[in-house]
Amino acid sequence: HFFSLISPTIGSQITAHVMALDAHHCPGGVMFLFRGEFGCLMYTGDFQWEVDNERAKDARSRLLNVLKNETTDVLYLDNTYCNPSFDFPTREVAAQ
């Protein structure tokens, strides 16, 4: 989706692009990829990354395809639940 906004740094209108990407966390969970004159910015939102999960491998492949070797200038990781004091069930158990 393309949208316009007034840049707070230059004071003029700029156009930006935002894309929602499946976060593979829960139904409807998305990450946002923003592109514009400010560069490329990714906001992960809440996510659950499982290295050996087939869905995660597919998601990684799709994300790399979307980025097309473009550098991500800013990455906002929502790592609220990365603290080892949290003990969450696997995605499969939670879905049941």
CB 3 within 8 Å of CB 18 = yes
Q: How many whole angstroms separate alpha carbon 65 and alpha carbon 72?
A: 13
pLDDT in tens, 16-27: 999 998 877 777
pTM higher than the cut 0.75: no
Residues 6+ apart with CB under 8 A from 16: 2, 3, 4, 5, 34, 35, 36, 37, 38
Q: Which two tokens stand for residue 42?
A: 């990714």
pLDDT in tens, 38-89: 889 999 877 666 667 777 777 778 788 888 878 889 988 877 666 778 777 7
